[in-house]
């Protein structure tokens, strides 16, 4: 099998597949004014999703993360999970969600083949949660996380975007929360995107400060496996949970890049902060197009850059991460 490999010898076995741009939250760093419907957009159909997944799987992809917007806003979300999970070669199906409908549906998602779930939770203080996400749904999301454990997930990853002056003083509360829960809590550095005004300057805080505190408190960094993603993971003998740090501004962050993205509009994105998307949709219309689709993917990959250009202030064409799935 000819794997997907770029000019820097990085291999890509992980696809982040966005299934919708729509979201019901208004996170300050993503869609502060909420999702603005655009009647002309049509998101990938179930058949198109099947064709994409098959082509990637035929080139060595074994993990697919279904994302968005908010993926659980899709009425056929469970069918999407099932379609991806039943594709030969796909060994891990994951999703990233804001927790919407999770408490009621997570058991169905698991039965459909979902292996891993990442939930966004920016604060353990319900009022701060509301302030950051624009939604008064803290307890709903927490109930969703509990329901995931009840449904049989052994670990849940929780994503917390670090924001100076908002949630950056909550380390103690978060640590107490994961002391006896199998949660991998990941602090994510705020990333600058095209539609952000001065929010980035106001709230960006380096994950390195948390790393120092963790090391001082006896946390140890897990040795990275070669196929691990970009999170640095820390463990402590007194804690069931773990801490992950996602620090895209750190040196060499992109050296371990192992993922490609397809947007809900069917475009291949070589980087979260790339300059363009490669349209795939014309080759998603029948199974007979798979060879041509694979050729297009391989040719496109030749142009993947070594890293993002965030340090120079360029966030590419990405207006906000809901447009590409994060
Ligand atoms: N800069 C950058 N950020 C990323 C990348 N992949 C994920 N992120 C960010 O990391 C955060 C967590 O992403 P998730 O969707 O939970 O996925 P993940 O970290 O790949 O999770 P695992 O597959 O469990 O390792 C989000 O804010 C993403 O936008 C990446 O390739 N580059
Ligand atoms: C774009 S969301 C899509 C999935 C789902 N709606 C959710 O929020 O989990 C994926 C992840 O990106 C993160 N994210 C969005 N905008 C970000 C930004 N500007 N900087 C860092 N992380 C961001 C979110 O917190 C979330 O964990
Ligand atoms: S981060 Fe996720 S939940 Fe928040 S606005 Fe963006 S897409 Fe929606
Ligand atoms: S910023 Fe781009 S190159 Fe860097 S890890 Fe993310 S997707 Fe890969």
Per-residue pLDDT of 202-211, as tens digits, reads 999 999 999 9
- Helix, coil or strand: residue 128: helix
pLDDT bracket for residue 240 (50, 70, 90) = very high
CA of 212 to the centre of ligand 3 (A): 29
Q: How far apart, in whole angstroms, are the C-alpha atoms of residue 116 and residue 64?
A: 10
Whether 205 is covered by a domain: the verdict is: yes
pLDDT average, residue stretch 226-251: 92
Quick check: pTM over 0.90? yes
- Among 105-114, 192-201, 294-303, name the one with the lowest average pLDDT: 192-201
Whether 7 is covered by a domain: the verdict is: no
Answer yes or no: is the C-beta of 133 below 6 A from any ligand 2 atom: no
Over residues 39-94, the pLDDT tens digits come to 888 999 999 999 999 999 999 999 999 999 999 999 999 999 999 999 999 999 99
Residue 209: predicted pLDDT = 94
Q: Which domain holds residue 24?
A: 14-323
Quote ipTM for the complex.
0.98
Whether 4 is covered by a domain: the verdict is: no
CA of 147 to the centre of ligand 4 (A): 32
Whether 256 is covered by a domain: the verdict is: yes
Q: How far apart, in whole angstroms, are the C-alpha atoms of residue 87 and residue 65?
A: 14
Whether 97 is covered by a domain: the verdict is: yes
pLDDT at 227 over 80: no
- Among 14-23, 113-122, 216-225, name the one with the lowest average pLDDT: 216-225
Bridging pattern class, strands 232-235 and 220-221: antiparallel
pLDDT average, residue stretch 35-40: 88
Whether 57 is covered by a domain: the verdict is: yes
Q: Which ligand has an atom closest to residue 248 CA?
A: 1
Residue 235: predicted pLDDT = 98
Q: Which of 213, 232, 321, 241 is nearest to 273 (CA)?
A: 321
pLDDT bracket for residue 229 (50, 70, 90) = confident
Q: How many independent structural domains does the chain possess?
A: 1
Residues with beta carbon inside 6 Å of ligand 4?
230, 248, 254, 257, 271-273, 307-308
Angle in degrees, CA 28, 18, 251, rounded to 5: 65
Residue 146: predicted pLDDT = 98
Over residues 243-292, the pLDDT tens digits come to 999 999 999 999 989 999 999 999 999 999 999 999 999 999 999 999 99
pLDDT average, residue stretch 188-200: 94
Q: How far apart, in whole angstroms, are the C-alpha atoms of residue 280 and residue 268?
A: 7
Residue 230: predicted pLDDT = 83
Mutate to test the pocket of ligand 3, among 19, 24, 25, 190 (most ligand atoms within 8 A of CB): 25
Closest CA to ligand 4's atom 1: 308
Whether 5 is covered by a domain: the verdict is: no
CATH number, residue 211: 3.20.20.70
Answer yes or no: is the C-beta of 210 below 6 A from any ligand 2 atom: no
């Amino acid at each position: 099998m000819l794997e997907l490999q770029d000019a820097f010898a990085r291999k890509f076995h992980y696809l982040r597949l966005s299934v919708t741009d729509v979201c019901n939250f208004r996170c300050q760093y993503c869609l502060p004014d909420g999702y603005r419907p655009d009647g002309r957009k049509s998101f990938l159909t179930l058949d198109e999703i099947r064709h994409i997944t098959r082509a990637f799987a035929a080139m060595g992809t074994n993990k697919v993360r279904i994302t968005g917007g908010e993926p659980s806003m899709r009425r056929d979300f469970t069918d999407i999970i099932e379609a991806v999970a039943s594709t030969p070669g796909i060994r891990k199906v994951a999703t990233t969600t804001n927790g919407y409908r999770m408490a009621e549906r997570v058991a169905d998602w698991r039965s459909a083949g979902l292996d891993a779930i990442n939930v966004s939770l920016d604060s353990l203080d319900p009022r701060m949660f509301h302030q950051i996400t624009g939604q008064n749904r803290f307890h709903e999301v927490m109930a969703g996380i509990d329901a995931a454990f009840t449904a049989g997930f052994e670990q849940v990853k929780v994503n917390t975007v670090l924001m100076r002056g908002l949630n950056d003083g909550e380390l103690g509360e978060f640590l107490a929360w994961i002391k006896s829960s199998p949660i991998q809590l990941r602090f994510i550095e705020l990333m600058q995107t095209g539609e952000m005004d001065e929010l980035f300057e106001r709230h960006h805080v380096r994950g390195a400060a948390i790393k120092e505190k963790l090391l001082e408190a006896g946390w140890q960094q897990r040795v990275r496996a070669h196929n691990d993603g970009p999170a640095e993971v820390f463990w402590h003998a007194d804690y069931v949970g773990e801490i992950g740090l996602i620090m895209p501004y750190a040196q060499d962050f992109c050296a371990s890049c192992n993922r490609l993205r397809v947007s809900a509009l069917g475009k291949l994105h070589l980087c979260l902060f790339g300059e363009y998307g490669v349209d795939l949709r014309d080759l998603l219309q029948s199974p007979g197009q798979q060879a041509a689709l694979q050729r297009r993917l391989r040719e496109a990959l030749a142009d993947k850059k070594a890293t993002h250009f965030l340090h120079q202030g360029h966030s590419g064409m990405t207006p906000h991460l809901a447009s590409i799935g994060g």
